[in-house]
A and B are shown apart, each in its own frame.
Chain A
Amino acid sequence: MGSLALKNVCKSFGNVEVLHNINLEAEEGEFMIFVGPSGCGKSTLLRIIAGLEDATSGDVEIAGDRVNHLPPSKRGIAMVFQTYALYPHLTVKKNMSLGLKQAGEDAARIEEQVKKAADMLELGPYLDRRPAELSGGQRQRVAIGRAIVRDPKLFLFDEPLSNLDAALRVNTRIEIADLHRRLGTTIVYVTHDQVEAMTLADRIVVLQDGYVEQIGAPMELYNDPDNMFVAGFIGSPAMNFLDARLLDMPAEVATIGLRPEAISLGSEGPISGKVSHLEHLGADTNVYLHVDGKLLTVRLFGQQDFEVGSTVHLQFAPDAVYRFDKDGKRIR
């Protein structure tokens, strides 16, 4: 029995079904991340877990209890929103303590919880400020603090980093990972950034158009994707897909996939291409090739040079080739 379980959850808005039969379980203390392209239903699923939206059918269980009919405040959850959603007219301290006050906790415990969260997030100096007097990063920390104070069984994060600039995003990402280690609470986290998902998650749930495509640990998804969508979504730069006829393949294989980092370039090999562009990143070099009318990415270690327009051959280990059938399903 996990700390979160979704059983056959479906959701429709009017006639449009946006979530189809979602089944998943998160273990106690697990960091689970929902990823998928925009509009695939990540936020909707999170809101169903929170109780902000009712599922059309199916069950939500938190810590073993069915919570379908409980309001959000009674589910033992806390949520951090993309826009922070701090109460503009309340001080940081009151923002953080409102939930406990509503739940009827006594003042001493509220004080203690707020102090604990403020220490953890280094918010001590700002407790008497209003949200308008804080920077974006500080507001995000207050929003996280407001969630910690409630001491929930389950944390929900909806794209908490997407309003922060790149440097702050990396810092906050590390802070969240650290927070998870210290609190040990189950976290469900939504993002459309696969790097965030890879670096933070214990397990990733890949969603597309309201379907679960695959659930697994980051390296499982990277090394052993079930289908073309997951293979293309996880990993950066994305996997290259080529027509199977370029190689000698069984008839049922329609598409082959090659990770950019699994290819090296040489003067002979089964597939050749024309160099169209180079990106020097210092530690890596990205080479873009025209192969069979498609743009293919090759990621080479170190600093390498090729002449644009020259012809090169792809070299790769035979087991680096992923094979997919005509529906995009992986053939193992």
Chain B
Amino acid sequence: MQRVKHNPLNLALAHLALIIYTIIALFPVLIIIINSFKTRKAIFRDPLALPNSETFSLIGYETVLKQGDYFGYFQNSFIVTVGSLFFILLFGAMAAFALSEYRFKGNTLMGLYLALGIMIPIRLGTVAILQFMVATGLVNTLTALILVYTASGLPIAIFILSEFMRQVSADLKDAGRIDGLSEYRIFFQLVLPLVRPALATVAVFNMIPIWNDLWFPLILANSEETKTLTLGSQVFIGQFVTDWNAVLSGLSMAILPVMILYIIFSKQLIRGITSGAVK
């Protein structure tokens, strides 16, 4: 790491800005978590107060865990998110490698075609996707969701990863070829480890929207067994009455796995940045 002498005033100002930003960013999350431990009345009477012996209540968590198969939803969300990320990263990296490494006719055109999806929202194709899923019998399966999310995540993944892969030393790949490594081993063992920070970035960018998506679970997989967490939590939000205890508790629990995934990826990100010793 490079050490630069900082002016203490600048340092203090920078920290102040960062602290203020952190407070602003964390405030809503904190409110959700605090209120998830309070009675309904207490939530409305004084939303900012911490729970005390009088207002403390786990009623929200009880409702969430009793109503519906909360852990089932949880599992579904997890499978869909991790599965989609896996395929986005795998296929995205493979396509990016081909685009950046091999000269073939229509290379640029193919790259443009693959990146086109960045500008076209996949929801425009919902009706066709639904028809397709019905025709293939994939409605109400997690596979349907994984397929859709993989398709929607690939364009940006290919765009970002191919840019990074172009920067991996060509000599390194050639050295592998002279040592007799197959193209697959060059890809998996030489190139992928070097673009790990980019992989982590793509993963983080894709993870949150997939985890939070309501649209496709509602349309493609709304059966009880395939409900995701976001869809499952909707039972508590009614047109006329909303069970705020349950909603807030559900949300609090939903934050956890995303946070864990995020910590894993960001560790990779930071390690990738600090150990970038190519030459």
Contacts and interface: CB of A to CB of B under 8 A. Distances in A.
A and B co-occur in one complex: yes
Given A81-B171, A83-B171, A88-B277, A52 B177 contact: yes
A77 B178 contact: yes
A77 B175 CA distance: 11
A98 interface: yes
Contacts of B193: 88-89
10 contacts: A50-B174, A71-B177, A77-B178, A85-B172, A88-B194, A88-B278, A89-B189, A98-B181, A102-B181, A103-B180
Chain B CB within 10 Å, residue with most, of A79, A85, A146:
A85
Nearest to A87: B190
A81 B174 contact: yes
B172 A79 contact: no
Contacts of A88: 193-194, 277-278
A82 B179 CA distance: 17
Interface in B221-279: 275, 277-279
Interface residues of A, number: 26
**Main SS of the interface on chain B?**
helix
B169 A72 contact: no
Nearest to B180: A73
A132 interface: yes
A78 interface: yes
Contact of B172 (A47, A73, A87): A87
Contact of A102 (B180, B194, B277): B180
A157 to B, nearest CB: 12
Closest 8 CB pairs of A and B: A73-B180, A102-B180, A85-B171, A99-B179, A132-B277, A85-B175, A81-B171, A72-B178
Interface string A53-87: 00000000000000000011110011101111111
Interface of A: 47, 50, 52, 71-74, 77-79, 81-89, 98-99, 102-103, 131-132, 146
A99 B194 contact: no
Given A83-B169, A84-B279, A85-B169, A73 B177 contact: yes
A292 to B, nearest CB: 46
A74 B277 CA distance: 31
Contacts of A86: 175
B171 A82 contact: yes
A73 B175 contact: no
A50 B171 CA distance: 13
Contacts of B180: 71-74, 99, 102-103
Contact of A83 (B177, B178, B190, B279): B279
A81 B279 CA distance: 13
B179 A85 contact: no
Contacts of A82: 171
A89 B193 CA distance: 8
Interface in B147-195: 169, 171-172, 174-181, 189-190, 193-194
A102 B179 contact: yes
Chain A CB within 10 Å, residue with most, of B169, B176, B180:
B180
A79 B190 contact: no
B192 to A, nearest CB: 11
Nearest to A136: B279
